[in-house]
Amino acid sequence: MTLTLRQTILLCLALSLCALLVVPGNFPGLSGDARLTLAVFALATCAWIGTPIDDTYIALGAGLALTATGVISSDTLFGTLGDETVWLLICAFVLAAAVARSGLAGRAAAFLVSGARSVRQLTHLTTAALVVTAFAVPATSGRAALALPVFLALAKVLADRKRLVVMLALLFPTVILLSAVATLIGAGAHLITVSVLWESTGERIGFTQWLLLGLPLAIASSHLAAEAVLWTTTRRADRKGPIHITADDIQAHVEDTEQPVTGPWEPAETRCALLLATVVALWCSEPLHQVPPAVVALIGAVVASSPALGTVRLKDALRTVPWSLLLFMAATMAMGVALADSGAAKWLVSGLPVDLSPWLFLASVIAVSTAAHLVLQSRSARSSVLVPLVVAAAVGAGVNPVAAALASTAAAGFCHTLPASAKPVTLFAEIPGTPTYTPRDLLRLSAVLAPLTAALVLLFALAVWPLLGVPVVR
């Protein structure tokens, strides 16, 4: 494999930093474990940024290196795979497979979209439908795959209005990415954030608390983004024309005609809807019954794949689980433990100014997290790198680490600048036979949306989350 100039520069920088770290006389105050941790962390970060090697492979290599050198124990490395957040994600994917197999998602989308009578109504009803999918399908790539057939059906119905098709093509991934913050299972990065907070501060954010903090932000940012997409991709004449889309129109253009979006509900759809509603209700009422979300998800997954009541076979559902993502999460959790326990994270941020006002500290964190997708395309990798440092810096600056970590993770949800910035953006950018957006459209939207979403996250961190139990200052 021939290295590019960028990869060569990054490799040289990483190796130079590692050489400086391993020399005992340099950087007084750093323990041996901290030196090894920083060296491994630097190499992994540069590999994530500058090489085409799979992110999971790099993370596993980093975790193995930390274990082999004695920085963390093998129990720590392998124990992360048994973390309840990992089980929560596995079971959530089984539930998502049941929803997809039942056809319930297409029926719900058709019901909402068919009520639109204007372009703006279509835009915001589509946005509302996409926000709701955050409760049924974990991870943004899974939601994008589920929503793609609905978009294709809408594109065929609106084939004579090309600008509206392009607008919808851009709307789908934009809302999917920004609305992920609504739930704990919305993105793997959220589970990494929760794990880092637990290991570093002893504070655990549950499903209900995340929902309380994230859902209002998801709704606000998604509908704000919908307006931004509408204004940057259409003209006034495009927005004036009436819209009339019926559920039958969507059914006529859905590829899988065996899953009706109109007519009486099938028994499988009814069972799946009741099961999903029960699971979400139990997740949201965790403080009342004290059953952990992972246990609720496991019960739901067992019922969803049962021979009598289920809509999908367990082995088929397990094929949809992104095992690579789970291994990545486990390895990066171990890296987070090493950064915290060795003192490396605290040392990294010790040179930062601590006299910043809380709002300026949070603004800096949000700005860096918003721009981080230009360097690290993987959302989970961004959280793996940023959150441990943000938490350590917040403690030193007197800022609530929970507020800082949540702000960083929410801001990192913006990744719309380039087609390769996120998988949903890539998926909707390359649709044969269907008009879609160009890199120029993405840049135009990003110029408007990046400052808007960053300002909105800062507003929530300073004014809304303190009212919901997460103060800016501890």
Structurally, how many domains does the chain consist of?
Answer: 2
In a domain, 27, yes or no: yes
In a domain, 84, yes or no: yes
> Comparing 47 with 360, which gets the higher pLDDT?
360
Please indicate, yes or no, whether residues 343 and 274 belong to a single structural domain of this protein: yes
Please indicate, yes or no, whether residues 299 and 432 belong to a single structural domain of this protein: yes
Residue 19 has pLDDT above 60, yes or no: no
Please indicate, yes or no, whether residues 168 and 284 belong to a single structural domain of this protein: yes
Residue 473 has pLDDT above 80, yes or no: yes
| Residue at which a domain ends, from 36, 71, 106 | 71
Residue 207 has pLDDT above 50, yes or no: yes
Are the CB atoms for 412 and 370 separated by under 8 Å?
yes
Please indicate, yes or no, whether residues 410 and 312 belong to a single structural domain of this protein: yes
In a domain, 474, yes or no: no
| Separation CA 153–CA 436 (nearest Å) | 14
Please indicate, yes or no, whether residues 150 and 45 belong to a single structural domain of this protein: no
| Residue at which a domain ends, from 16, 38, 71 | 71
- Copy the structure tokens of residue 11: 């490799």
pTM of the model: 0.79
Q: What pLDDT is recorded for position 407?
A: 93
Please indicate, yes or no, whether residues 303 and 409 belong to a single structural domain of this protein: yes
Please indicate, yes or no, whether residues 376 and 390 belong to a single structural domain of this protein: yes
In a domain, 371, yes or no: yes
Q: What pLDDT is recorded for position 257?
A: 45
**pLDDT of 164-200, one tens digit each?**
888 888 999 899 999 999 888 888 788 888 888 887 8
Q: Of 221-235, 305-319, 338-352, 407-421, where does mean pLDDT reach its minimum?
A: 338-352
Are the CB atoms for 427 and 434 separated by under 8 Å?
no
pLDDT over 90 percentage in the chain: 14
Q: Of 87-101, 304-318, 419-433, 451-465, where does mean pLDDT reach its minimum?
A: 419-433
Please indicate, yes or no, whether residues 333 and 211 belong to a single structural domain of this protein: yes
In a domain, 473, yes or no: no
Please indicate, yes or no, whether residues 198 and 257 belong to a single structural domain of this protein: yes
Residue 225 has pLDDT above 70, yes or no: yes
Please indicate, yes or no, whether residues 398 and 453 belong to a single structural domain of this protein: yes
Please indicate, yes or no, whether residues 410 and 339 belong to a single structural domain of this protein: yes
Please indicate, yes or no, whether residues 193 and 47 belong to a single structural domain of this protein: no
| Separation CA 67–CA 86 (nearest Å) | 20
Rg of the chain (C-alpha set): 23
> Comparing 30 with 122, which gets the higher pLDDT?
122
Range of the domain at 343: 72-468
- Alpha-carbon dihedral 185, 206, 304, 80, rounded to 10 degrees: 70
pLDDT over 70 percentage in the chain: 84
